[in-house]
Amino acid sequence: MNEEKGILDQETVALDEEAVAVVIIDQTKLPGKTELIRLRNAQEIWDAIYLLKVRGAPAIGVAAAFGIYVLAEQIGTKDYDAFLSEFRKQKAYLDSARPTAVNLSWALNRMEGVVTSHPKESVKEILRLLKKEAQDIKEEDIRVCRSIGEYGLGLVKPGDGILTHCNAGQLATSRYGTATAPIYLGQEKGYHFRVFADETRPLLQGARLTAYELHSAGVDVTLICDNMASMVMKNGWVNAVFVGCDRVAANGDVANKIGTSGVAVLASHYHIPFYVCAPTSTIDLSTSTGAEICIEQRPGEEVTQMWYKERMAPEGVKVFNPAFDVTDHGLISGIVTEYGVARAPYEKAFREIFRKKEGTQE
């Protein structure tokens, strides 16, 4: 690792073509240590996703795309049917790492589509196409995030106070982030936003990641505990809320990091617009409402002892530790995509968004 590089100069997810490995920033070590790790086998890639060494829906998708390519390179056969069978086994294994973020299965399905649409090609050519598809997914992510930032920037004005929850920043994507994209673009234009970052218990992504990257970029950022959001809103310091998401249902319900729905309730109470920044790859039209979204349950140790020298809860106490919650569409002022801002009724808005997307791909 080049120690002279700042955190924003490092790529969140990359492919080491020479070593045929996925390279990620180990986000469990931030902000104290910036460590790049190489992932070469299925267990390492699965663990990196499950253990949050790489996290954030878009970054998980990019890591999965590079990951399945790396594993495909290791399939020792030139027979197409045997290759496809093993590819699907590896795909199913990676897809089991985290159930809520739709970008994981979205990226893996895209990569599988490369294989199934080229049954007459040699395995060598399919591998070349797989690498290109994974690289395209990453490049698309960068363009998508910048576009989300441009649409989001149109919803605020210079000097505004913005509150964000968890980390939907550059560390969750290939560049710019989703919820932070308007902040970074505003920084380029001299908007001088005042940002409040929730610490985001229990894994502290807001404290360890969002506050770290925004502070590194020179943004005026103030870290607050999750239970302080009401006070800063009541004080009039927040003009808009921007959050990311891991899955959007067809009716506009949104699954995002635990605590997001509480922020939305507070924003509604104080009449503050609440915006969700979501690439269209995160919109899951096959899921009708948020009630159908599978919510990942994580180990209780993340709450009771992860950040403490000594355990901070009695032995044997029950712990409820969902990774995500669902924000009702009625609490959302708009969903910012790379093709514009969708507003209620979301079913109709999404149809328009996807028509626009399909038109750009013709």
Q: Which residues are catalytic?
A: 246
Q: Where are the beta strands (DSSP E) in the chain?
A: 13-16, 21-25, 36-39, 161-164, 194-198, 220-224, 240-243, 247-249, 254-257, 274-277, 283-284, 324-327, 334-337, 340-342
Residues pairing with 255 in the sheet? 247, 326
Contact 185, 153 (CB under 8 A): yes
Q: Which residues contact 355 (CB under 8 A, 6 or more apart)?
A: none
Amino acid at position 127, single letter: L
Is residue 345 reached through a cis peptide bond, with omega within 30 degrees of 0 on the bond before it?
Answer: yes
Longest CA pairwise span in the chain (Å): 66
What separation in angstroms does the CA of 43 have from each of 68, 349, 358? 12, 40, 36
Residues pairing with 257 in the sheet? 324
- Provide the token pair at 264: 């939305």
Residues pairing with 185 in the sheet? none
Count of helix runs (H) and strand runs (E) in the chain: 12, 14
Cα–Cα distance measured from residue 83 to residue 336, given in angstroms and rounded to the nearest whole number = 39
Q: What is the CA radius of gyration of the chain?
A: 20
Look at the block and give the residue holding tokens 């902040």: 183
Pairing of strands 21-25, 254-257: unpaired
DSSP 296: P
Contact 71, 134 (CB under 8 A): no
